[in-house]
Chains A and B, each alone.
Chain A
Amino acid sequence: MSGIFSSSLGKKLIMSITGLFLMLFLVVHLTTNLLLLVGDGSLYNRAAHALATIPLLRIVEFLLAFGFFFHIVYATIITLKNQRTRPIGYNKTASNRVTTWPSKNMYILGFAILAFLVLHLINFFLKLRFGEAPYVEGTEMHNTYLLVSSFFAKYWWYNLIYVISAVLLGLHLSHGFWSAFHTIGLNNNKWLNRLESFAYVYAVIVAVGFTIIPIYFWFAR
């Protein structure tokens, strides 16, 4: 194990493992959020309440924060190192028709997603945890549904930011998904194309899933 994380491959392993963890989180997050579209929102409220109160999940929350932290820190370290490897660039570059735009711009996409994340936390998480989010009448449970639905019904530009961010996230995942498997070595000739296809499916589900919500509440206002 000695010095594994100082090597370029070790650093990538951190990116890959944290990335896989974050992608798992996205599945949970999206599944819960889609409950917003089901019924009168009480189901969603209960789910949100459960996620916020079960003690074990609080630990997971810390893990999640760590995951984000390491994913971001190591992305920065790797990107800074990689940028030093070509002091004189090319005068002209052309597409090879294989390399995708997201794969070359993961850091930029990640940065945009980070900016969105901060905004997103301010909009909802901080309000729920520390702020004055509404409660479901007569209970100790937040009316998260009300918070979300009123938020998206109110500001069209927020909706736009959320939709764009979902698309950027999708692009990030379209590369990140298969890349994470590839980096930990779970890939071969046969699985290369399969994993890439899965990556697109996953990316589209996440992007579309998170896009539907603001749009739904805007038109339902």
Chain B
Amino acid sequence: MKLKLKIWRQKDAKSKGKFETYYLDSVSPEMSFLEMLDYLNSQLILKGEDPIAFEHDCREGICGSCGLYINGRPHGLKGKTTTCELHLRDFKDGCTIVVEPWRAASFPVIKDLMVDRHAFEKIMQAGGFISTNAGAAQDANAIPVAKPNADEAFDAASCIGCGACVAACKNSSAMLFIAAKVSQLALLPQGRIEAKERVKRMVAKMDELGFGGCTNTRACEAECPKGISISHIARLNREYYAAKFSD
């Protein structure tokens, strides 16, 4: 199949970027999207041009490294998919594919399609944990957890930290990311102990780092490759107000 690619190229964080157009004449529909980029890169390298920098690692949809804004949506048009799980058979022969990096003030571009998602680290460090040292725990079955809560905590915990929620949100809000962690830990008795402090710190950090606020457009949920529900945002809100009003 044939493809026309419009790809964002940017030398480094300081440079101004622009779109470059590339043509591929014979790619197989069985190729994954990233394999197509590999192939394009190999051609660029042999021509003496700079290959396109993009992030990827596990290539099976779980590490959260890859994240490209493809044809107007994070991780492409398929939904509930990471970029590495996209295949060319998901595209039409002869089509034009526009590939952009995540765009958000809190996710500055490093090079080409790579962005710096370090802001997520800062948010996690602000409180996305349970303060138990190794060796201090009681038996794992000492505290039962109701199955529905455990299951819902798992759903929240399946976040891969790819940043598609921020990329999709018109406000570049990180609410779904934070909600997933706050919700997971709030649902588990082990996490309840420091639930109030956690939610306050994580939200304060999010605001400080320049992420926007949530306006409930559901774009994050629609683009989340793991399908994390915005109901976790409702829980985050509850937790936050309860924590703040008890101050």
- Of the candidates A99, A175, A185, the one whose C-beta lies within 8 Å of that of B235 is A185
Is A32 an interface position by the 8 A CB rule? no
Tell me, in angstroms, the Cα distance from A192 to B210 when the chains sit together: 28
Measured between beta carbons, the chain B residues less than 8 angstroms from A103 are: 215-218
If A9-B213, A82-B215, A85-B171 touch, whether A96 touches B234 (CB-CB below 8 Å) is: no
Tell me, in angstroms, the Cα distance from A20 to B238 when the chains sit together: 17
Chain A interface, DSSP helix/strand/loop, else mixed: loop
Interface size class of B (residues with CB under 8 A): 35 or more
Tell me, in angstroms, the Cα distance from A95 to B189 when the chains sit together: 39
Is A98 an interface position by the 8 A CB rule? yes
State how many angstroms separate the Cβ of B184 from the closest Cβ of chain A. Answer: 14
Across the interface, do A175 and B77 meet the contact criterion of CB distance under 8 Å?
no
Is B206 an interface position by the 8 A CB rule? yes
Is A93 an interface position by the 8 A CB rule? yes
Is A1 an interface position by the 8 A CB rule? yes
Across the interface, do B219 and A98 meet the contact criterion of CB distance under 8 Å?
yes
B202-239 interface with A by 8 A CB criterion: 203-204, 206-207, 210-219, 221-223, 229-231, 233-235, 237-239
Is B89 an interface position by the 8 A CB rule? no
Chain B interface, DSSP helix/strand/loop, else mixed: mixed
State how many angstroms separate the Cβ of A149 from the closest Cβ of chain B. Answer: 39
Is B112 an interface position by the 8 A CB rule? no
Q: Which of B8, B104, B106, B241 has the most A CB atoms < 10 Å from its CB?
A: B241
- Of the candidates B69, B103, B213, B223, the one whose C-beta lies within 8 Å of that of A8 is B213
Is B72 an interface position by the 8 A CB rule? yes
Measured between beta carbons, the chain A residues less than 8 angstroms from B73 are: 93-94, 96
- Of the candidates A1, A7, A99, the one whose C-beta lies within 8 Å of that of B217 is A99
Across the interface, do B238 and A185 meet the contact criterion of CB distance under 8 Å?
yes
The total number of A-B Cβ pairs within 8 Å is: 136
Across the interface, do B238 and A90 meet the contact criterion of CB distance under 8 Å?
no
- Of the candidates B171, B222, B231, the one whose C-beta lies within 8 Å of that of A188 is B231
Is A89 an interface position by the 8 A CB rule? yes
If A13-B241, A96-B73, A98-B218 touch, whether A182 touches B212 (CB-CB below 8 Å) is: no
Measured between beta carbons, the chain A residues less than 8 angstroms from B210 are: 84-85
Tell me, in angstroms, the Cα distance from A10 to B105 when the chains sit together: 22
Tell me, in angstroms, the Cα distance from A92 to B216 when the chains sit together: 22
Across the interface, do A91 and B105 meet the contact criterion of CB distance under 8 Å?
no
Measured between beta carbons, the chain B residues less than 8 angstroms from A183 are: 214, 216, 237
If A2-B247, A87-B105, A99-B219 touch, whether A7 touches B204 (CB-CB below 8 Å) is: yes
Tell me, in angstroms, the Cα distance from A94 to B77 when the chains sit together: 8
Measured between beta carbons, the chain B residues less than 8 angstroms from A129 are: none
Across the interface, do B218 and A12 meet the contact criterion of CB distance under 8 Å?
no
Q: Which of B72, B171, B216 has the most A CB atoms < 10 Å from its CB?
A: B216
Q: Which of B69, B240, B247 has the most A CB atoms < 10 Å from its CB?
A: B240
Count of A interface residues, CB-CB < 8 Å: 44
Contact with B along A187-216 (1 / 0, CB 8 A): 111001000000000000000000000000
Q: Which residue of A lies closest to B214 (CB)?
A: A12
Across the interface, do A9 and B241 meet the contact criterion of CB distance under 8 Å?
yes
State how many angstroms separate the Cβ of B118 from the closest Cβ of chain A. Answer: 16
Is B159 an interface position by the 8 A CB rule? no
Is A221 an interface position by the 8 A CB rule? no
State how many angstroms separate the Cβ of B221 from the closest Cβ of chain A. Answer: 7
Measured between beta carbons, the chain B residues less than 8 angstroms from A88 are: 103
B48-89 interface with A by 8 A CB criterion: 69, 71-73, 77, 79
B129-176 interface with A by 8 A CB criterion: 152, 168, 170-173
Which A positions have Cβ atoms within 8 angstroms of B?
1-2, 4, 7-13, 78, 81-82, 84-94, 96-100, 103-104, 106, 175, 178-179, 182-189, 192
Which B positions have Cβ atoms within 8 angstroms of A?
6, 8, 19, 69, 71-73, 77, 79, 98, 100, 103-106, 152, 168, 170-173, 203-204, 206-207, 210-219, 221-223, 229-231, 233-235, 237-241, 244-245, 247
Q: A98-B221, A192-B230 are known contacts; what are 9 more A-B pairs with Cβ within 8 Å?
A: A1-B244, A81-B212, A81-B213, A82-B172, A84-B212, A90-B69, A90-B72, A96-B168, A183-B214
